[in-house]
């Protein structure tokens, strides 16, 4: 049984239903604590808790990541599921694309630390610009 087929109270559908086939946890594990949590709350926006509550959590973790240099380290793997997730968001013309794109680039080892910080700031701006669809 794959992780996607398992259902438990800690593996609900809103963490496993992305069109890319990538589970949120697979991205979060590679992004570090703050960026991983920002990704998680962005991925479930409007699917679990109140939309604005989760949006504020995304912003809180993105801002917190700016205080922690750990997010500057690249993921430890050649397999980066968050890149497949971002590509799927792009293909879908998702309003979340810019948010996920910039969170992923905050871990891009080909960018300078300054550029990575700029991507966090761009992610914050993108999340601030999101509108509750309801």
CB atoms within 10 A of CB 68: 12
Q: What is the dihedral of CA 34, 39, 40, 43, to 10 degrees?
A: 160
| DSSP class of 76 | S
Provide, rounded to the nearest whole percent, the portion of the chain with pLDDT above 70. 80
Provide, rounded to the nearest whole percent, the portion of the chain with pLDDT above 90. 26
Average pLDDT over residues 18-45: 86
User: CB–CB of 81/22 below 8 Å?
Assistant: yes
């Amino acid at each position: 049984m794959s992780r996607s087929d398992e259902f438990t109270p800690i593996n609900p559908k809103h963490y496993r239903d992305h069109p890319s086939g990538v589970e949120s946890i697979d991205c979060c594990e590679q992004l570090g604590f703050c960026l991983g949590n920002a990704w998680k709350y962005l991925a479930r926006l409007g699917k679990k808790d109140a939309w604005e509550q989760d949006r504020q959590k995304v912003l809180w973790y993105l801002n917190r990541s700016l205080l922690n240099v750990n997010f500057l380290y690249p993921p430890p793997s050649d397999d980066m599921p968050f890149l497949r997730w971002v590509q799927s968001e792009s293909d879908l013309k998702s309003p979340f694309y810019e948010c996920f794109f910039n969170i992923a680039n905050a871990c891009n080892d080909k960018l300078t630390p300054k550029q990575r910080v700029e991507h966090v700031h761009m992610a914050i701006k993108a999340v601030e610009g999101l509108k509750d669809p309801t």
